[in-house]
């Protein structure tokens, strides 16, 4: 099917009026002087005043040539029409292990003509169930939304999934297709999955390292100091490993003595309340990570000496930080000493910024200062930047247009505050979803059927054969141009030259 | 015998005299026999017999005396007047678009023909006159007894340019033809009138003007000069035709008009032939301009002899 990428260019078709008018317009005829028109006047044949198309073949060639050129402007493509009518897809979660009734159903659907695809980005075709037990849980809702957009309305989707909780991220989509939800066992099996989440050196030189051990199965995700029942923990001075019930040993995990996180909170003497709230949040945020914290709280005095090797410096002061801090390697966080706006607002984190999920729902804001510049992390609900970060040659510089004070915002009172501080200070310490093997209840997981948003229907389906018609059109246009030249030349050759030019030619000699 | 007509020579009026002589001299060697010799009223001379002389003209008495053949010659009063009536109306300036005469006016050919006839006439000792019809005027060189009528005619011809149309009133022409005829001639004089025309008339004014001549003693030869364009009508497609005499303009499709035009011209020619043929004293000749001109001259000579 011929489609045009820039159909607006078809407006240029108005140039067709040009050759049409030229062919309607009558050339002034050549003049011949006769001794007498007596015999011509007797002739009552066709006169020349009628409006008619002249040289129709030439006109046709010119019109088609122009149409081709205009089509080239409109960027023609040949697209195989997508398969008409509803389609039937069978979508296999890579963590699904169809057995028993679900496998019977799988085979039945395949026999009924369902196309089997794997629920990974791109939705590739497959024929057999997945076998990789270490496959991560897919982003199920996103993939289902993608599959649904590719299919015409009324298609059928059969989804084989164990529905791990980790796979159900975000908002459950509304799909246009008919969905058959088939629960399968998890490929990872029912045995609990146990891993060492983190280790930290022994408190005493002679002791063994302390480990936080995570374990997960279809119903539980647990973090504890000791391994679950049946598992054993073997520790030496610097390493630690887990022993499964069947004496299968996991590899030794070496414990690195990690350096503590050094945080410095410097504040004006009259702002102890801000510093107290902030310090409390920092302590509770880092505590759960088992990373040692080296937190110093101090009011700003003249001749302040900035200690070296500080990871974070919170500067809660009206004065600008001294050069030793400004040019230090640590991340510097500054707030705003004076409020310029008391309009009630909200702290709205930008999507995909650290702690954005933690701060949902938004936190109320009472006072704020002038808008800082830099990469925006938060806005105040009116689109005015609230928290920004700028990169300097020394380290990131954070600018907060408010204060960590209960009178300024609700932030110090919310439970989200330590979570957000943690995402700021320890961005990599959030446990991933790869160890989460909990399964969702079927009633919780099944996507609802509803009319999809109209924008989805504009997505182009997969497997569309789309070819650029650039060259065929150019070739055709070139051929037509040659034809047009030939026709035009022939026309000129068939019409004798005007009398005037004949008179100038060399006269013949009569014998 | 064919005459070579150089179109350049023909086109230049200064070469008119030369071209006319060139055209006519080719015919002169054969003219000796046509001199009116024989039945002498006034003896002129004896001359030695030459092969080709009529044996009847051999003076047998002289032969008996001298044992030689002599031919008795006598000067005969030819008393012949040649009048060339040249149609110099605007339609004569039509040019051919095809054929050897391409780019030359019909008038150029007619003028050359008139000059050649004048030269021939002078060479024969005839009285030669010219009457050119230029619009309503008639430019005349009366056939008097000038010493060099040819030169005068050439000069007159050189000044002529075709203009106007054939006058509806025939009287100026009649007056010109008859005026000097009365004054100069006795009743015995033969008068040959050669009319050079393209035959284009709007009514029948040309024929009306010439018709009275038939009632008199004139012998009349009408050369109807026809161009190649009129014969073939070589036009195609939309053409804007312009009448040289009236300035009238007509746009039409030449291909569609051709049959009607050719048929109309044929009918016109036929009407000329019907009106002028048949009578011994009146001769109509259709003359193609893309052919050599000498047949026209020869026709005059035949008529004269």
The beta-carbon neighbor of A47 closest among B236, B237, B252 is B252
* pTM attached to this predicted model: 0.45
B34 — pLDDT class (breaks 50, 70, 90): very low
Which chain A residues are Cβ-neighbours of B256 within 8 angstroms? 43, 45-46
| Rounded-to-integer distance, Cα A480 and Cα A66, Å | 10
| Residue contact B237–A47, C-beta within 8 A | no
pLDDT at residue B5 in the model? 47
Q: Residues A281, A285, A290, A296: is their CA dihedral positive or negative?
A: negative
Question: Per residue in A437-460, pLDDT tens?
Answer: 788 876 777 665 554 444 444 444
Residue A371 is classified by DSSP as: P
Which chain B residue shows the shortest CA-CA distance from A37? B243
Calculate how close chain A gets to B54, using CA atoms only, in Å: 35
Q: At what angle do helices A56-73 and A17-24 cross, to 10 degrees?
A: 170
Residue A257 is classified by DSSP as: -
Nearest to B86 by CA among B151, B137, B126: B137
pLDDT at residue A476 in the model? 93
- Taking a C-beta distance cutoff of 8 angstroms, is the pair A387, A378 a contact? yes
The beta-carbon neighbor of A508 closest among B100, B237, B250 is B100
Say whether A264 sits in a helix, a strand or coil: strand
Q: What ipTM describes this predicted complex? A: 0.71
| Residue contact B243–A39, C-beta within 8 A | no
Residues in chain A, total: 511
| Residue contact B97–A499, C-beta within 8 A | yes
Nearest to A178 by CA among A82, A91, A105: A91
How large is the average pLDDT for residues A454-472?
61
Side-chain-side CA neighbours of residue B61 (13 Å): 2
The beta-carbon neighbor of A40 closest among B99, B106, B250 is B250
The beta-carbon neighbor of B7 closest among A47, A496, A510 is A510
Residue A425, judged by CB atoms within 10 A of its CB (0-12, 13-18, 19+), counts as buried
| Residue contact B103–A503, C-beta within 8 A | yes
| Rounded-to-integer distance, Cα A177 and Cα A157, Å | 6
Q: Which of A57-61, A395-399, B50-54, B300-304 has the lowest mean pLDDT?
A: B300-304
Secondary structure (DSSP) of chain B? ------HHHHH-GGGHHHHHHHHHHTTGGGGGGGS--SS-SSEEEEEE--TTS-GGGB-HHHHHHHSS-EEEEE-----EEEEEEEE-SGGGG-BBSSSTTBT-BHHHHHHHHHHHHHHHHHHHT-EEEEEEEETTEEEEE-----S-HHHHHHHHHHH----S---S--HHHHHHHHHHHHHH--TT-EEEEEEEE----SSSHHHHHHHHHHTTTEEEEEEEEE-HHHHH----SEEEEEETTT--EEEEEHHHHHHHHHHHHHHHHHHHHHHHSS-TTEEEEEEETTS-SHHHHHHHHHHH-
Side-chain-side CA neighbours of residue A55 (13 Å): 24
Question: Per residue in B74-129, pLDDT tens?
Answer: 655 555 788 899 999 998 988 888 877 777 888 888 888 888 888 888 777 778 88
pLDDT at residue B169 in the model? 84
Which chain B residues are Cβ-neighbours of A26 within 8 angstroms? 238
For domain B3-33+79-304, the question of CATH label 3.40.50.720 is answered with no
| Residue contact B92–A48, C-beta within 8 A | no
Residues B194, B200, B205: CA angle, nearest 5 degrees? 80
A51 near B CB under 8 A: no
How large is the average pLDDT for residues A343-348?
86
Which chain A residues are Cβ-neighbours of B251 within 8 angstroms? 29, 47-49
Cα dihedral value A67, A68, A69, A70, nearest 10: 50
The mean pLDDT of chain B is 76
| Residue contact A33–B94, C-beta within 8 A | yes
| Residue contact A32–B97, C-beta within 8 A | yes
The beta-carbon neighbor of A31 closest among B91, B242, B256 is B242
Which chain B residue shows the shortest CA-CA distance from A36? B243
Calculate how close chain A gets to B209, using CA atoms only, in Å: 19
| Rounded-to-integer distance, Cα B80 and Cα B117, Å | 14
A47 near B CB under 8 A: yes
- Taking a C-beta distance cutoff of 8 angstroms, is the pair A94, A132 a contact? yes
- The per-residue b/e assignment along A139-161, b for 16 or more CB within 10 angstroms, e otherwise, is bbbebbbbbbbbbeeebbbbbbb
Which chain A residues are Cβ-neighbours of B104 within 8 angstroms? 507
Among the ranges A231-235, A296-300, B30-34, B176-180, which has the highest mean pLDDT value?
A296-300
Residue A52, judged by CB atoms within 10 A of its CB (0-12, 13-18, 19+), counts as exposed
Q: Can you read off the two tokens belonging to residue B230?
A: 């009129």
pLDDT at residue A187 in the model? 81
Side-chain-side CA neighbours of residue B286 (13 Å): 15
| Rounded-to-integer distance, Cα B93 and Cα B105, Å | 5
- Taking a C-beta distance cutoff of 8 angstroms, is the pair B227, B235 a contact? no
**Residue at token pair 């390292």:** A209
Which chain A residue shows the shortest CA-CA distance from B99? A508
A31 near B CB under 8 A: yes
Say whether A91 sits in a helix, a strand or coil: strand
| Residue contact B100–A510, C-beta within 8 A | yes
Peptide bond into A361 cis (omega under 30): yes
Which chain B residues are Cβ-neighbours of A498 within 8 angstroms? none
A290 — pLDDT class (breaks 50, 70, 90): low
Nearest to A116 by CA among A103, A132, A134: A103
Which chain B residues are Cβ-neighbours of A511 within 8 angstroms? 2, 4
Calculate how close chain B gets to A7, using CA atoms only, in Å: 42
Kindly report, as residue ranges, where domains of CATH 3.40.50.410 are found in chain B.
3-33+79-304
Chain A interface, best mutation among B261, B262, B291, by max A CB count within 10 A = B261
Containing A384, the helix (H) or strand (E) segment is none
Q: Which of A157-171, B30-44, B284-298 has the lowest mean pLDDT?
A: B30-44
CB pairs under 8 A between A and B: 126
């Amino acid at each position: 099917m011929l489609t045009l990428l820039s159909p607006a260019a078809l407006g240029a078709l108005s140039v067709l009026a040009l050759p049409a008018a030229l062919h309607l317009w009558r050339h002034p005829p050549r003049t011949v002087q006769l001794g007498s028109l007596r015999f011509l006047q007797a002739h009552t044949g066709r006169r020349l005043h009628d409006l008619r198309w002249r040289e129709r073949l030439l006109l046709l060639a010119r019109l088609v040539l122009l149409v081709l050129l205009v089509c080239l402007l409109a960027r023609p493509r040949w697209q195989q029409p997508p398969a008409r009518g509803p389609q039937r897809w069978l979508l296999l979660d890579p963590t699904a292990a169809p057995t028993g009734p679900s496998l019977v159903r799988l085979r039945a659907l395949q026999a009924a003509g369902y196309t089997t695809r794997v629920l990974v980005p791109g939705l590739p075709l497959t024929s057999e169930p997945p076998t990789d037990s270490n496959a991560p849980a897919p982003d199920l809702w996103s993939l289902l939304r993608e599959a649904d957009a590719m299919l015409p309305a009324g298609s059928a989707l059969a989804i084989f999934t164990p529905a791990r909780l980790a796979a159900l991220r975000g908002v459950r989509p509304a799909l246009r297709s008919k969905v058959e939800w088939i629960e399968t066992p998890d490929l990872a099996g029912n045995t609990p999955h146990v891993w060492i989440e983190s280790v930290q050196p022994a408190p005493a030189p002679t002791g063994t390292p302390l480990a936080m051990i995570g374990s997960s199965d279809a119903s539980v995700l647990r973090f504890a100091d000791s391994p679950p029942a049946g598992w054993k923990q073997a520790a030496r001075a610097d390493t630690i490993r887990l022993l499964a019930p069947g004496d299968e040993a996991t590899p030794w995990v070496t414990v690195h003595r990690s350096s503590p996180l050094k945080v410095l909170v410097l504040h004006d003497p009259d702002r102890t309340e801000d510093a107290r709230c902030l310090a409390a949040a920092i302590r509770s945020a880092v505590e759960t990570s088992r990373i040692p914290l080296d937190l110093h709280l101090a009011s700003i005095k003249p001749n302040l000496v900035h200690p070296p090797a500080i990871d974070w410096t919170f500067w809660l002061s009206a004065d600008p930080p001294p050069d030793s801090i400004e040019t230090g390697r640590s991340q510097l966080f500054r707030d705003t000493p004076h409020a310029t706006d008391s309009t009630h607002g909200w702290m709205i984190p930008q999507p995909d910024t650290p702690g954005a999920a933690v701060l949902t729902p938004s936190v109320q804001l009472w006072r704020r200062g002038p808008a800082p510049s830099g990469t925006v992390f938060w806005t105040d609900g009116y689109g005015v930047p609230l928290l920004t970060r700028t990169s300097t040659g020394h380290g990131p510089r954070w600018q907060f247009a408010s204060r960590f004070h209960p009178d300024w915002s609700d932030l110090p009172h919310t439970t989200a505050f330590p979570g957000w501080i943690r995402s700021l200070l320890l961005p990599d310490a959030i446990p991933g979803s790869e160890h989460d093997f909990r399964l969702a209840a079927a009633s919780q997981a099944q996507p609802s059927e509803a009319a999809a948003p109209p924008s989805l229907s504009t997505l182009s389906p997969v497997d569309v054969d789309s070819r650029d018609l650039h060259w065929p059109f150019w070739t055709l246009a070139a051929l037509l141009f040659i034809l047009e030249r030939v026709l035009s030349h022939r026309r000129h050759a068939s019409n004798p030259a005007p009398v005037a030019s004949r008179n100038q030619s060399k006269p013949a000699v009569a014998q | 015998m064919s005459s070579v007509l150089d179109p350049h020579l023909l086109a230049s009026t200064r070469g008119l005299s030369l071209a006319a002589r060139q055209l006519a001299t080719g015919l002169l060697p054969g003219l000796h026999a046509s001199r009116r010799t024989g039945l002498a009223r006034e003896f002129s001379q004896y001359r030695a017999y030459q092969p080709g002389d009529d044996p009847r003209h051999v003076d047998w008495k002289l032969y008996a005396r001298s044992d030689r053949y002599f031919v008795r010659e006598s000067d005969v009063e030819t008393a012949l007047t040649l009048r060339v009536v040249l149609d110099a109306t605007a339609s004569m300036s039509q040019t051919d678009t095809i054929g050897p005469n391409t780019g030359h006016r019909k008038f150029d050919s007619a003028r050359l023909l008139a000059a050649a006839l004048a030269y021939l006439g002078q060479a024969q000792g005839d009285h030669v006159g010219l009457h050119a019809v230029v619009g309503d005027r008639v430019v005349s060189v009366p056939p008097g007894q000038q010493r060099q009528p040819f030169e005068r005619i050439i000069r007159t011809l050189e000044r002529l340019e075709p203009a106007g149309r054939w006058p509806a009133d025939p009287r100026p022409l009649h007056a010109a033809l008859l005026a000097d005829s009365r004054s100069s001639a006795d009743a015995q004089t033969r008068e040959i009138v050669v009319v050079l025309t393209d035959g284009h008339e709007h009514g029948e004014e040309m024929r009306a003007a010439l018709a009275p001549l038939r009632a008199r003693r004139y012998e009349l030869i009408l050369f109807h000069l026809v161009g190649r364009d009129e014969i073939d009508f070589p036009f195609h497609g939309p053409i804007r035709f312009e009448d040289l005499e009236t300035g009238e303009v007509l746009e039409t499709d030449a291909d569609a008009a051709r049959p009607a035009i050719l048929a109309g011209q044929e009918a016109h020619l036929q009407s000329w032939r019907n009106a002028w043929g048949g009578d011994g004293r009146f001769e109509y000749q259709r003359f193609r301009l893309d052919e050599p001109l000498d047949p026209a001259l020869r026709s005059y000579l035949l008529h004269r002899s």
